[in-house]
Amino acid sequence: MAVSLLNNSANGAANTGTSVTGNAASASSDMFTKLLVAQIQNQDPLSPTDPSQFVQQLTQLSQTEALQSLSSLTSANSSVLQSMQVLSLGAQVGSDVMAETSSVKLDGKTAVAGQTTLGASSSATNVVLTGEDGTKYTVKLGVQAPGTVPFTIDPAALKIPAGTYKMAVETSSKETPPLDIQGRLNSVRLSAAGGVVLSVANVGEIAPTAITAFNGKSASAIQ
């Protein structure tokens, strides 16, 4: 089980965000005070500034500081939620999942399961794989009714060499439904940008939103 999570990432992000925002708010407050004093000292004695303007400026400063504090809190909460998501998904490492994808990785010998969902019936349904050199391979699914259509890509039977292939569904109705590929969830990690990245066999690295189903751990994975 490979789960990569920086130690105290949530606390670190929260403390850093609070410190930076707090310093910015303090600097803004100090600058505002200096400007306000300078404005009072240099106002025209014969036409003094309306006190209501000072009140309005103080209100604007308070609103700015409140927005900065809210931004810091939102950033901290986001970091905590991402950390919780990594820990939650980490418990699923080793499970078979279904992931929506437009490409598949084949080793040239192991069959890969997948599925698509048709919105209308199709008298001629095919899953077409296109290699990097442009070579196409077709998995014929025949006549299909609306709904979920499972399929298997067998590289040995179709003589498909190892590699990464783009996938698309061809139907007589001309619809282009999405494709899901089954693979083992190998790892969960946080990217340098702070996002959650999943590594799935037969698919590669994807976002958590690409997962469409968790199918549980196989007997060999449990052992």
On whether the CB atoms of residues 206 and 92 are closer than 8 A, the answer is no
Looking at residue 49, what DSSP letter applies? P
123 and 161: one domain?
yes
Distances (CA, A) of 116 to 104, 119, 122, 142, 172: 14, 10, 12, 13, 15
φ/ψ bin of 49: left (φ > 0), alpha (ψ from -120 to 50), beta (otherwise): beta
Listed residues 90, 105, 131: the one ending a domain: 90
27 and 137: one domain?
no
pTM exceeding the 0.85 threshold for the entire prediction: no
199 and 160: one domain?
yes
84 and 159: one domain?
no
List the domain range (segments joined by +) for residue 185: 95-222
Q: For residue range 22-61, list pLDDT tens digits in order.
A: 565 566 666 666 766 676 667 666 666 666 776 676 676 6
Residue 77: pLDDT band by 50, 70, 90 thresholds? low
Residue 10: pLDDT band by 50, 70, 90 thresholds? very low
140 and 214: one domain?
yes
Q: What is the CATH classification number for the domain harbouring 147?
A: 2.60.40.4070
Among 169, 166, 180, smallest CA distance to 131 is for 166
109 and 63: one domain?
no
